[in-house]
Amino acid sequence: MTALPAGACDSHVHVFDPDHFPYVPDRAYTPGPAGCEALQQHMARLGLGRCVLVQPSVYGTDNRCLLSALQALGPQVSRGVAVIDPQTVSDAELEALHAAGIRAVRVNFEAGGGKAVDKLATIQATARRLAGTGMAVQLYVDTATAAAAVQAVREVPLILDHYAGFKAGTEVSGRDFTAILRALESGRVWVKLSAPYRCCCRSPDYSELRPATEAMIEAAPQRMVWASDWPHTGGGADRAARSPDQIEPFRQIDSNADLGRLRAWVADDARLAAILTANPATLFDFPSFA
């Protein structure tokens, strides 16, 4: 992988600091520590200038660890995605989150323990609560839920995590994915090209994702952002076999290889630069990169 453009952004990372910010009791897993220093080392290895910190499910709606990391990294380098309860959060709390660098609120139905909820109603309630705040709704959901959301939500932009929930074996020409492509063309929806290991691929090079990736980039290259998902929490059968309070090891992922694969799939230097720099700067309201 050749050098990244100045201001290249990793649009999806997490920080974990259980010694100072305890996890919620009803979590689905227990990650080890991964703080700001380790994150900065990750960014230096890849040549990244910016990052977007995303609230993980193990902290619930307690955003203190996220806010502490944003303060430590500073507004030139970092933005954040928080988690809220749309029924109880106050206007003052939303204003404070925005002032601290939060530019989206995450709704996560894939890593939170599988509670029975009306997914679309929850997404719509969150979108209504965020209308006019300058914050988007970020969704970690399956493709069917994402397709329903992009057709129902108009109040705020939507950000779709991890290839819009696309899984290996899904038809690119299918109804749900087609709805996402149409929404991308409308300019209201963004997709994170992140964590291909969460897409159930069998090929070590994640080649099953290439048709979907190329289709989304062709539909709206200005609505794509790249992300590593550092520090790469686990999941799947490994998580199911472990009790929630046991430490879950992080995956060993080569993010340089992921960037190299993205370069090969995009095959256009201007588009690649936009995915890494201009697009996340627009989406997450970063200042001009000096």
**pLDDT tens digits, residue range 152-162?**
999 999 999 99
Under DSSP, is residue 69 helix (H, G, I), strand (E, B) or coil? helix
pLDDT at residue 85 in the model:
97
Going across the sheet that includes 189-194, the strands are 9-13, 50-54, 78-82, 102-108, 136-140, 158-160, 189-194, 224-227
Q: Give the pLDDT of residue 168.
A: 84
Residue 189 is inside which H or E element, if any? strand 189-194
Per-residue pLDDT, 203: 85
pLDDT of residue 116: 56
**What per-residue confidence (pLDDT) applies to 169?**
81
Measure the CA–CA gap between 36 and 34, rounded to whole angstroms: 7
Query: What's the pTM value of the predicted model, to 2 decimals?
Result: 0.95
* Residue 287 preceded by cis peptide, ω within 30: no
Write phi, then psi, for 177 (nearest 5 degrees). Answer: -70, -35
The whole-chain average pLDDT of the chain stands at: 94
pLDDT of residue 115: 58
3-state DSSP assignment of residue 159: strand
Q: How far apart are CA 134 and CA 212, in angstroms?
A: 29
What residues in the chain have per-residue pLDDT under 70?
Answer: 1, 112-116, 290
pLDDT in tens, 19-64: 999 999 999 999 999 999 999 999 999 999 999 999 999 999 999 9
- The domains found in the chain, sorted by start residue, are 9-283 (3.20.20.140)
- What pLDDT score was predicted for residue 8? 98
What is the pLDDT at residue 148? 97
